[in-house]
Amino acid sequence: MTEAKIVDISKKDVILREAIAEGFIKLKKETLSLIRESKVEKGDVINTAKVAGFLAAKKTSELIPMCHPIPLEFVDIDIKIEDEGLRVITTVKAHYKTGVEMEALTATSIALLTIWDMVKKYEKDSQGQYPETQISYIRVIRKTKIYDDNTS
């Protein structure tokens, strides 16, 4: 068994890296209505989830042990209300020696967890359980390296 270590990226070139990740949280129709109508007791679900995702992207290397700390240059989080829940799509960019997919995945995941936290009161059943609430489909949609000559 090999010991855990952070991979040596010292010989890699600094280039523009971009990653897009997404995830979905299934919610009750009633909860979605409360979000649409801005009637959730804890406040603005979508903007709060975005802020949490921004913070998470910046803290990824503190949460995932073998991730390099990356100076992020751009983070965008789009949250769409769909028929059965909310879809979170995160785009992250940085000029660096390694990819930013973990930052995009972390931001997406934390935004989804923040949504759950903000609406859990409305999602619980009579036994205090969450039979309908589900986070799923967290994945990297695209990861690119953008070189000076604009090839990916």
**Active site positions, annotated:** 117
- Is residue 1 part of an annotated ligand binding site? no
C-alpha Rg value of the chain to the nearest Å: 18
Q: Which residues pair with 88 in a beta bridge?
A: 23, 79
- Is residue 37 part of an annotated ligand binding site? no
Strands (E), 9-108: 15-26, 74-81, 85-96
Q: How far apart are CA 5 and CA 134, in angstroms?
A: 34
Q: How far apart are CA 16 and CA 37, in angstroms?
A: 39
- Is residue 103 part of an annotated ligand binding site? yes
- Is residue 118 part of an annotated ligand binding site? no
Residues composing the chain: 152
- Is residue 67 part of an annotated ligand binding site? yes
Binding site listing for substrate: 66-68, 102-103
Binding site listing: 66-68, 102-103
